[in-house]
Structures are given as structure tokens and as C-alpha cells.
Amino acid sequence: MLYIETKSTDPQYNLAFEEYVLTTVGSQQNCFMLWQNDNAIIVGRHQNTVEEINLSYVSENNIRVVRRLTGGGAVYHDLGNLNFSFITGVSEHADLDFAKFLAPIISLLKSLGVNAEFTGRNDVVVDGKKVSGNSQYIHRNRLLHHGTLLLSSNLNKIASALKVQENKYVSKSTKSVRSRVANISDFLENSLSMEQFKELILAKINEIEPIEYWNPSDEALNEIQKLTDCKYATWDWNFGKSPKYSINKKQRIEGVGSISLSMEVVGGAIEKMAFSGDYLGSGDSDEFSREMIGCSLEPKELKERLAQIDLKKYFAGIKADEMLDLILM
């Protein structure tokens, strides 16, 4: 089995690296990866990104949001969390088997005195609290299984970053199920550094199948960077790929009044938009809505569109940034 490290904590780069291994290196050989992302939310392939995150908190705390290949729910990653990936051969029509890949992880945790067990569809729990979430994806005849291991994550940040106002968004996307989570370190008799934890995991995997270190060529690194730039670093992949959804929100803006916004979004762009409230304006806000149809919710494009419109004609006293926040936040 090839052991591969990304040598990065950039979530966009790491997910591109993982996909590259799956589709190239891992197309012929079994692979195992250990990697970490710093300050990031990783959303599932089928999720509506804006439903899963506290956008204002994410923006204020410079948390990067990236969509992954696999399904499942949104998770917060920091340097107290360790990600692991298995890439192996499988039939294209095989059923997803989580227990097989989690067995060595659970065995290691038990050897450390942690009473870990596999439960539900894809979780590892200790005393009813989730310490590892897992997901899988099949590409042709190769299977990617990856998961998290919460060793010493900032649990308060997890709760804040993934907290979303209920009933604000309506869609048919896959919703995250918020679980009670805990750090593995809370159950350890002796403290364990992240490096020590990684070494123990590698030793356990090596017992099952001898590992061989793999170092990417310059050509491979260039391809990974291209994939990062054209996919995982783009707004279209991370936000625009969200399923069709509706937004309903109400906000009171000082000096403007109360504004209710209803909006339908398809492919990351505004399809329908309507306003109501006690705001004043010489123009009809329906006219403003028509001017916004087709505009992407990518912040830069949205800001440019708003700059072309006389907002105060429709909403007396409003500033462009306030309208931007109303639409996005």
C-alpha cells in the first residue's frame, strides 16, 4: 500500500490532491493518506452550501468553505482534527462498506483505552459522542473512503461555524444531521500529540498491509495545482454546485426599515426575487428584482451588479453593503 502525504493544510489543495490520487496513482494501487485542513468547512457533494454554514461567522473568522467529492454532511476541520483516506479497488456496483475501513481505526482507539464503536451509517462514537465521521465515493472501479478523527478540535468553533438559522433556506439538498461530538483526547488516559497519533495509525495500517512511501513528481504536483485552481478553489464548485433552493429572510436595517426577501436560486444564480416591507422608495422594488435575475451569488459579481443600480431609488437610505449582506447573509 502506498502511503501519501499532501504536506499542506490548505483544504482546496488537499481535496484536489486526494482526487488526483484517486484517479491516477490510486487507479492501480491501494493508497492510504493522512492529512489535515486548517480552519475549513468541508461540505458534502450533494449539499446546499449556504444551508450548512453560518456565513457571517465564516466570513469574520476567515474559514474556507470547500465541497468534497463524497456525500454526507458538512464538517469543520482544524489542526486538532486528522483526516484519513483509503483508496482501493472495488466493483463499480459494490455496496458501500464502512465497517471494513473503520476496523483498524477502532482497533487502535481501543488499544489506547478508548471505547470506540461503529454506529449508524458512517460514524465512530465513544460513549454516544461522535469522534469520527466518514464518507465514500466510487470512481470507476476505485473506492475512496475518507474520514475525520477529532483528536483535539475546537468544539466551540465547530458549533458556531455550522450553525444556520432554521427555516431560512428551503431545498431538497442533503441536510447535515448535527451530532453530539467529542474529542478523542477527552477519553485518553495519557496525552497524545498529533504526530504521535499519526505514527500510531501508520503502524496499525502497516500491520494490515505493508506501506511504501510515495512522493509526487513535479508533473504530478503541477496537475494537482491545476485541479485546485480550476475546481476546488472556485465559487462555482463550492457554492454554485448547490441544488436549487429558496431563501426567505427578514431584516431590519437602520434608517431603511424592515425588508423581507424571498429568492429562488438555481445553479448559484438568482432565478426569482421579491421584496416586501415598510421601506420607502420612489421606484418599484419589482423593477430592481428583475434587474437582479440571472446574477450569480458569487460575492464579487453580485457587488458589481449592485454597483450598476441606483439602490436608493428602490430602498431609500440603503447602502450597497447592506443590500449585499441582506442577499448573502
* Whole-number Å distance between alpha carbons of 105 and 128: 17
Q: Show which of 240, 256, 274 is a domain's final residue.
A: 240
Are 133 and 191 in the same domain? yes
Closest CA to 151 of 62, 36, 65: 36
Query: Are 140 and 255 in a shared domain?
Result: no
Last residue of a domain, one of 182, 216, 240: 240
Half-sphere exposure of 213 (CA within 13 A, CB side): 5
Domain boundary pick from 225, 240, 255: 240
**pTM for the model:** 0.82
- Mark whether 150 and 222 lie in a shared domain: yes
Cβ neighbours around 176 below 10 Å, total: 19
**Total number of domains constituting the chain:** 2
Residue 162, Cβ neighbours under 10 Å: how many?
20
**Statement to judge: residues 213 and 254 lie in one domain:** no
Sheet containing 64-67: which strands, arranged edge to edge? 64-67, 40-43, 75-77
Please give the sequence-ordered ranges of beta strands (E in DSSP) within 44-128, or none if there are none. Answer: 64-67, 75-77, 81-89, 116-119, 123-126
Extract the C-alpha cell encoding 218: 513535479
Q: Are 12 and 47 contained in the same domain?
A: yes
For residue 186, pLDDT over 80 is answered with: yes
Question: What is the per-residue pLDDT across 198-211, written as a single tens digit (0 to 9) for each?
Answer: 999 999 999 999 99
Quote the pLDDT of residue 105.
97
- Enter the C-alpha cell of residue 187: 477519553
On whether both 53 and 95 belong to a single domain, the answer is yes
Residue 188: its pLDDT value, please? Answer: 96
pLDDT band at 240 (very low <50, low <70, confident <90, very high): confident
pLDDT at 280: 87
CA distances from 220 to 39, 138, 204, 225 (A): 26, 22, 28, 9
Reduced to 3 states (helix: H, G, I; strand: E, B; else coil), residue 302 is helix
Q: Domain limits at 299?
A: 245-328
Which CATH number does the domain housing residue 167 bear?
3.30.930.10
Average pLDDT over residues 32-55: 92
- State whether 63 and 136 are in the same domain: yes
In whole angstroms, give the CA distance from residue 65 to residue 181. 20
User: 218-227 and 11-23 are packed helices; what angle lies between their axes, rounded to 10 degrees?
Assistant: 120
Residues 91-106 pLDDT 10s: 666 667 889 999 999 9
Q: Classify residue 238 by its DSSP letter.
A: I
Residues 152 and 285 in one domain: no
Q: Within this chain, do residues 251 and 236 fall inside the same structural domain, yes or no?
A: no
pLDDT at residue 171 tops 90 = no
Average model confidence (pLDDT) for the chain? Answer: 90
Domain with 303 in it: what CATH number?
3.30.390.50
Of residues 62, 56, 57, the one with CA closest to residue 38: 62
Same domain, 171 and 319: no
Whether residues 201 and 285 fall in one domain: no
Same domain, 291 and 215: no
The region, left, alpha or beta by phi > 0 then psi within -120 to 50, assigned to residue 320 is: alpha
pLDDT band at 168 (very low <50, low <70, confident <90, very high): very low
Give the pLDDT score at 28.
78
User: Is residue 302 within 8 Å of 296, Cβ to Cβ?
Assistant: yes
Chain mean position to CA 67: 5
Question: How does pLDDT run across 128-154, given as a tens digit for each residue?
Answer: 999 999 999 988 889 999 999 999 999
